Amino acid sequence: MSAPSSVASPLDPAALRERIGELEAIARHLEPGPEGREALRSPVVGHSEEFYARLDEALAYRVTEDKGAGLLEVPIPEEGIGIDRALEVIAEHVDRPGLNPASGGHMAYVPGGGVFASSLGDYLADVGNHYSGVFYATPGAVRLENLLVRWMAELVGYPESALGTLASGGSIANLTGIVAARDAKEVRSREVERSPVYMTRQVHHCVTKAMRLAGLGEAPIRAVPLDDRYRMRADELARLVAVDRKAGLRPWMVVASSGTTDTGAIDPVEEIADVAEAEGLWLHVDAAYGGFFLLTELGRGLIRGLERSDSVVMDPHKGLFLPYGTGALVVKDGELLARSQHYEASYLQDALGSTEEISPADLSPELTRHFRGLRMWMPLVLHGLAPFRAALEEKIQLCRYFYEEVGKIPGMERGPYPELSVALYRYVPRAGDANEFNARLIREVQRDGRVFLSSTTIDGVFWLRLAVLCFRTHRRHVDLALEILREKIGKLEG
């Protein structure tokens, strides 16, 4: 099937036509017909059904010897390897080793699961290859995406002025939000060293990374003290801002978390907003983990005041259970986001004035991008909101249930009562160092693999975490986690 290497003469029309014909014949392999597509699609569907069939019994975490390195023995070939072989390689080297984020037993970090309906959205987005970057190219795709942003803006309680963007995840969404804040507050390079920002030590590391990426690496970062539940103290924020003002500095932004990753703590956004408003600070809320709990009555009682923030990040690939690849930023005064993503005011005026819908390319660093709106829209319209609300409240209740039950294990110490769906706990051994014991305990649990839990260290204390957010996690999984903890503690205590 390899092509002749040269043409007799580029000016020989007959030879040129012949060469083009040869190339086309080979290139056409990229376009299978209906039967060819079926021959590829049906094994893929079979593979995914097998994956689902095994999911319930599959490990949440699997340690393998080669950690997928066998993949390197399948180099990118000159001619295709066939779908069966490709799926074999995926099953062996991608599906098997490491974490299984689709598993209900995944209760570490911040899980989500990955709803099936999203895969259909991705499929159609890829088949149509819709251009979601600019309105005039695919107006429907842009409308769909903006509709999702407006839906999130309403959830947060923002007015109609809000605009936003679907990003690849919370990290890029936070970066885009911080850049908008920087530009709105006119923090120029030469002023960065004198322009402090405020956050707690519990802020997600992507926020401090975003500061660096945004050219703000030299801005003083003030660690606002925490209360006994790891939440930002608004009175301390006010005090730190006053100290900085007195020193002639230029405070400009505070970052609050609506659900920290470590402990699920919810910073008091209302009190923080009082300070931010009085001091003219941009209030950015990282609700990547907790934001979608607003879909539940319970969550709305817990997460208050987001409507008073200037920008908010939420991660549909966490709280909406989408497969990885979707975060979101919403900015209350959307024009500030649009301005920050433009170089020329005249172009902005045009984009805002002459089209019915603003384009994602005008609101983010990306131009050409995956049509990620479809993977979010599909599950929402196919299932409706009711099962999302139920699943989210179930996660909060499961975490509370765990917190009660884990307290019944003799020797177990617990962190603060969980605010959302993350619980902290650790075992205090009869003898020896507790930190060291819990480090061994988590290794035992991970090696077992039936559930996957993680740990964190706060103020020198090694805590174990349980984070319930995968939509597939139900009481059975939490009970299994409790059973495994009892079993491994027994083993380690001898």
Tokens of 485: 């903890």
- Count of beta carbons in the 10 Å neighbourhood of residue 66: 12
Are 359 and 208 in contact, with CB atoms under 8 Å apart? Answer: no
Closest approach of ligand PLP to the CB of residue 227, in Å: 18
H or E segment and range at residue 350:
helix 345-354
Cα–Cα distance, 168 to 326 (Å, whole number): 5
Closer residue to ligand PLP (CB): 286 or 419: 286
Closest residue to ligand PLP: CB criterion: 170
Closest approach of ligand PLP to the CB of residue 250, in Å: 26
**By C-alpha distance, which of 375, 459, 425 is closest to 200?**
459
Cα–Cα distance, 40 to 80 (Å, whole number): 12
Closest approach of ligand PLP to the CB of residue 310, in Å: 17
Cα–Cα distance, 1 to 215 (Å, whole number): 51
Closer residue to ligand PLP (CB): 264 or 484: 264
Cα–Cα distance, 312 to 329 (Å, whole number): 6
Closer residue to ligand PLP (CB): 200 or 341: 200
**By C-alpha distance, which of 98, 328, 286 is closest to 197?**
286
Closer residue to ligand PLP (CB): 142 or 287: 287
Closer residue to ligand PLP (CB): 200 or 257: 257
**Non-local CB neighbours of 422 within 8 Å, separated by 6+ positions:** 259, 261, 262, 263, 264, 399, 465, 466, 467, 468
Closest approach of ligand PLP to the CB of residue 303, in Å: 13
The residues binding ligand PLP (CB under 6 A) are 110, 169-171, 174, 204, 206, 257, 261, 286, 288-289, 315, 327
Closer residue to ligand PLP (CB): 325 or 482: 325
Closest approach of ligand PLP to the CB of residue 430, in Å: 35
3-class DSSP state for residue 166? strand
Q: Is 149 left (phi over 0), alpha (psi -120 to 50) or beta?
A: alpha
Closest approach of ligand PLP to the CB of residue 259, in Å: 6
Give the CB-side neighbour count of residue 289, counting CA atoms within 13 A: 28
Closest approach of ligand PLP to the CB of residue 226, in Å: 15
Closest approach of ligand PLP to the CB of residue 288, in Å: 4
Q: Phi then psi for 114, rounded to 5 degrees? A: 100, 90
H or E segment and range at residue 198:
strand 197-199
Closer residue to ligand PLP (CB): 134 or 469: 469
Closer residue to ligand PLP (CB): 209 or 474: 209
Beta-bridge mates of residue 457: 462
